[in-house]
Each structure stands twice: as C-alpha cells, then as structure tokens.
Chains A and B, each alone.
Chain A
Amino acid sequence: MENRLDEIKNSAKNTLKEILYPLTAIVVSFLAGAILVYAFGNSPKVAYKALFLGALGDLNKFGETLVTTTTLILTGLSVAFAYKCGLFNIGAEGQFIMGSVAAVWIGWALEGLPPSIHVLLTLLAGALAGGIWAGIVGWLKAKVGSHEVINSIMMNYIALNLSNYLIMTVLNEPGKAFSFEIAPTAKLWRFSQSFEQFKYSRLHIGIIIAIFVALVAYYLLNKTVTGYEIRSVGFNPDASEYGGINVKRNIVLAMLISGLFSGLAGAIHTAGVQYRVNNLFGLTGYGFDGISVALVGNNNPIGVILSALLFGVLQKGGPMMQIEGIPKEVVGIIQGIILLFVASNFVRVMVQRYKENKEIRAQLKKGEVK
C-alpha cells in the first residue's frame, strides 16, 4: 500500500517537473518580451492585456483563437509523431500546402455529392496528399538513407511551387491569384450556424476533429503494437532491429502518419476557414509553428493540445497589440525565445548544474574532495 502511494507521488512529481520546465521557459520568454516592449517606450502591461483580451476577451475572440489552435494541434501532432520515431519532420509546411490543394481540388471538382460524403472525401484527400508527401521523404530515408531534414525542406519548396502552379492553371479562378472556391457541400460546419454566441467567429467543427485526432494519436502511440514499434525505433533503432522490428517499415509508416496530420491540417484550414487556396509568396509558417507546438508540448499528444492553445492565443492576440501601437511581432520574438529555451533544455541543464555545484561545495566543506 505504502509502495503504491509512493509510486503515485513519484509519477505526479515527475509530471509536475515535465510541466514545470516548459512553463518556466514560457514565463521567461514573456519577461523578455516585456523588456523589449518597455525598451521601446511602451507599457508591457498594456501590451499583454491587449494580447490576452484580444485572444480570450469574449467568445467570438476565443472562437478565432481556437481556429488557429485547430491548425496548430494538427501540425504539432505531425511533428511530435515523427519525433517519437526519431525523425525530424521539418516538412509539415509542405504537407500542409499539399493537403490544402488536394482539399480544394476535391472540394471544388466533386460538386453535387451529398454534404457529409463530400466533406469526408475532401478531408481524406487532404490528409492523404500530406501523407504521401511525407511518405516520400520516409521512403527515401528507408531506401537510400538520405536525411529526412534535407529532403523535407526541399519538399516544402517543391510543394509551394507545385501548389502555385496548380492554382494559377487548372484550379485558377480566372483573373485572380487564388483557386476556385470549394462547393458548399464540402465546407465544414461552423458554430455560428447554431450558436448566436459565436456569430462573429469562424470557429468550425475542425477543433473537435483535431482534439479527437490527438486522442487517437495518443492511443496509437501508447496502446498499440504499431505505436510501441514506432517508439522503439525512435528510442534505439539498432536494438529494435535486433529485437525483430522492421525499422525501415516503421520509418516510412511514421512519416506517412505524420504527414496525414499535416495534410489534414491543410484540408481543415481550407474546408473550414479559407474555402480557397491563395497563390503563396512564401511558406505559411503553420508547419514551422508545429515544431514549437510539439516541443513545448513535450511531443506528447495531450501536451500538444495545450501548447497549441498557448500559441493560438499568441497568434490571435498579437494583432490586437497593434491597436495599442505595439508591433505584433513581439509575439514571434516570444515564440522564438520559448523555442530556444525548450530546445536547449536550458532550465533543466541550469538546475542540474546548480545542484551538482551545490553537492561539490558540500563535499568540499566536509573535506571529502580536495
């Protein structure tokens, strides 16, 4: 009985620690942002008040924040899932774009289908396009050993140009720099259709889909053989191979699933918010934000939901600071600093070093170490 209690205590302590490190990083980054705002003669209090009120002030604003959160949950999951297999998917950008284009194509071309089927096909097409786009990278890694980071960066820009080409040719709304609009039957249900409170927000069913997908990802990773194999390969590919796990197959599979999430993100963004795809001048940033979301969420699907909410607040609240005369880019700076802290395990390493030093000092006092 006592043992069991200790076990629970320990696991709670560990979970708390896992949360505490990223939390410290977030707090420090907000402080850094505050200093920057102050340095240019503005009030940090005004800035952050505008930020949080702008993102959470009322249900419509909160709805808009959740619209961004939806996308970030999925791209964050995408990065986190690949990471669990020891793969770095910096290609969520490209997979997102491919998902958007595939969704717009199916959403536009298959006009006349019953709504539920059409929506489903639109989302599936997007997810699949992202999956294939990432799958190619995984396949190349498994087949010829070329690095997934290099290939996925290249695939980002190939996706960008392929998408622009399609949008300016076969999918082009004549005379415009964007694609056709998808059919009404392919559009996702919006909360504003039934709830007066969300009248001025574009919040759509995608948020529920995204949370559901996160739960599925959690289940898949932690409760199935496939997930076990994927994590095992991420932990130690050589030992996994020795233990009879097909490493190459799992690399391709993990990338493919990772791409499904990003592709779905693009499809949901298209079917729920944009209804079209624009001719892009550069990458959208959703994929790169997915890296931040995954890392702050400790690559855990549940953590990803929470950190996607944080970044959703930052991104939606940022423009509200502009009204107070404070550039919204403060938000990007905060995000960059958070990422630097979390990536370097800065807080953890510093705490460890402090403890080690303390121990050495204690030993020195006792005269054990000369």
Chain B
Amino acid sequence: MWNIITILFGSTIRSATPLMFTALGGTFSERSGVVNIGLEGMMTIGAFSAVLVSYFTGSPFLGLLGAIVSGAFFGWLLAFLSIHFKANQVVVGTAINILAASLTTFLLVEIWGKPGQTDNVNYFTPWGPFNMFTYLAFILVGVSYFVLYKTPFGLRIRAVGEHPRAADTLGVNVYKVRYICVILSGILGAIGGAALSIGSISLFKEGMIAGKGFIALAAVIFGKWHPVGAALACLFFGLADAIQTVSMSLGLDLPKEFLFALPYILTMMAVSGLVGKSVAPAADGVPYEKGEK
C-alpha cells in the first residue's frame, strides 16, 4: 500500500512539472489581458529547441537557454500581433500551434534526416527523486505569487487585465506590461516543453506535447487565474494521470479515457459555476486601444 502511494506521489509530481511552468505562463498572460491559446505550440517549440541546442553544444543548460529564447520569440509574436495589430488572439494562438508543430517536424527531418524523433542528446539527469525542473517549478510558483500579489509590478499586471483604461489613466504603460507578460508566458511555456524533452527523456518526439498545453490552459482556468491555484490544478491533473498509470499496472479496470477527460470536465464545471465559479480577468482577450472611449 505504502509502495503504491509513493509511486502515485512521484508520478503525480512528474506529470505535473511541465504543466506547472506552462500554467504559470498562461496565468501571467491572461492576467495581463491576453488569451494564450498558443501555449501548446510554445511547449512544442521549447521542447524542440532545447534538444536542438543540446545536440549541437552538448550542454543541456544551453539547451534550456535555447528553449527560453525561442519561447520568448513566439511570445513576442503573439504580443506584437495582438497588441499592435489587434489581431484576434485566439486565431494567432491557433496559428502558433500549427506553425510550431510544422516547423519542428520540418527541422527534425532536415537536421536528423528522419521523421519521428531526434537522436538522444545530453539532458538533465534527476537530482534525488526528481529532476531539476521539478524543484524549479515549485520555486517559480512561489515567485509568481509574490510578483503578482506583493509587488507594484504585479498590481499593475492585474490592473491592466481588469481595467486597462483605468490603469492607463494612472500612468501604467498598458502595452509594455502586456508585452512583458506575454513574452514571459512564451518563456515559461517553452520551459514547460523543455521539461518534457531534456527534463525527462533525452530526445524530442513528434507529437510529444499531445495536448499538454491545453491541459495547462485548463489548469489556469480551473485554478482561477491564480499562480497557486493553477499549480494545485496541475498537481490534481497530474494525479489523474498518475492514477491512470498506476491502475493499469495494478490491473484495475478504470476506463482510462475517463481519467484523461477528467481535467476538461472539471474545468468546464468550474467556468460554468458548478464547482466554485472561475471568473476571468475582465479585459482578458480584449485588445486595448489608447484614447478609445
């Protein structure tokens, strides 16, 4: 029994780790008023870039840096188009997802000369029971909470997401705050992706993200757009994943599809007010135009 609990605990944390980074990124972006549907693509890009750089340099640390740079670029792209061109944020996010999936597979074939997966590269080996990424994720949850709720900058982020006009009137640079938050969400999403590639297996596989970006998005919403809430949601979704793995090895007859669908069902219930209403930041998804009444 104790054995199962240990396995379940470890498996939960490991499943939740990449989600936590991405969900924190989503929290920042949405808190500042930009919907980020492109988290899935940002994870894909991050996972791939990390492997790519680690492959050419032999250093997983530089790989992580590569993920951060590429994530920042895609974050910037979303920010640039949705802030300056007032593009539909959901469409830009979808475009990023399509672009990321195609671009990574394209480069995979061009560089490694085969479809499917890359060669093995140097990666972050576990420290104790978990990988470096896990410890970092928990630290970042605390940092994010502190930044959002205990610093003037966090107050500005929340103000910009709730009522950009009021924030603007008080001298807050709405565009700048949104740029920073969306680029940050790209970086965190990419780290989440890297946690899946150079943080657990040592390679990149086509389709390895498989909807995890969308689960992270669900966690942001289920966690009520709060960093600690989002992290707890990730752990909870990680637990559902872990139960599925453990139940298979125990021969339990639980329909795995139900456990897979559980995060999405719960999130729908949460936004619909069935299990503690989740309310989005008021200006979430709305482009801001200066001088508009």
Contacts and interface: CB of A to CB of B under 8 A. Distances in A.
Interface residues of B, number: 46
A150 B267 contact: yes
Given A332-B99, A344-B81, A339 B261 contact: no
A68 B211 CA distance: 24
Given A282-B207, A333-B102, A336-B102, A146 B91 contact: no
The dominant DSSP class at the A interface is helix
Contacts of B268: 140, 146, 150-151, 154-155, 158
A345 B217 CA distance: 26
B94 interface: yes
A339 B272 contact: no
Interface stretch (B4-12, B64-72, B105-113): B105-113
A165 interface: yes
Interface string B81-108: 1000111101110111111011101100
A53 B109 CA distance: 23
B221 A150 contact: yes
Given A150-B271, A164-B257, A329-B105, A335 B98 contact: yes
B109 A283 contact: no
A298 B88 CA distance: 14
A213 interface: no
A349 interface: yes
A339 B95 contact: yes
A288 B97 contact: yes
A161 B257 contact: yes
A344 B87 CA distance: 4
B38 to A, nearest CB: 11
Interface string B219-240: 0010000000000000000000
Contacts of A327: 105-106, 109-110, 115
A283 B99 contact: no
Contacts of B265: 154, 158
A155 B221 CA distance: 15
The dominant DSSP class at the B interface is helix
Contacts of A168: 257
Given A146-B271, A158-B261, A332 B101 contact: yes
A164 B267 CA distance: 20
Contacts of B258: 161, 165
A162 B103 CA distance: 30
A340 B96 CA distance: 8
Contacts of A282: 207, 210-211
Q: Which of B257, B272, B285 has the most CB of A within 10 A?
A: B257
B217 A153 contact: yes
Q: Which of B98, B110, B265 has the most CB of A within 10 A?
A: B98
Given A332-B101, A336-B95, A165 B257 contact: yes
Contact of B255 (A36, A149, A165, A344): A165
Contact of A332 (B92, B98, B211): B98
B211 A157 contact: yes
A40 interface: yes
A165 B259 CA distance: 11
Contacts of A153: 37, 214, 217-218, 264
Contact of A337 (B37, B94, B99, B285): B99
A242 interface: no
27 contacts: A40-B110, A90-B37, A140-B268, A146-B268, A147-B271, A151-B268, A151-B272, A153-B214, A154-B264, A156-B214, A157-B211, A157-B214, A158-B264, A282-B210, A282-B211, A327-B105, A327-B106, A327-B110, A327-B115, A329-B101, A332-B98, A332-B103, A335-B102, A337-B95, A343-B88, A343-B92, A349-B85
Given A144-B272, A149-B35, A161-B260, 16 more contacts: A146-B272, A149-B90, A151-B271, A154-B218, A154-B268, A157-B214, A291-B91, A331-B102, A332-B102, A333-B103, A336-B95, A336-B96, A337-B95, A337-B99, A343-B92, A344-B87
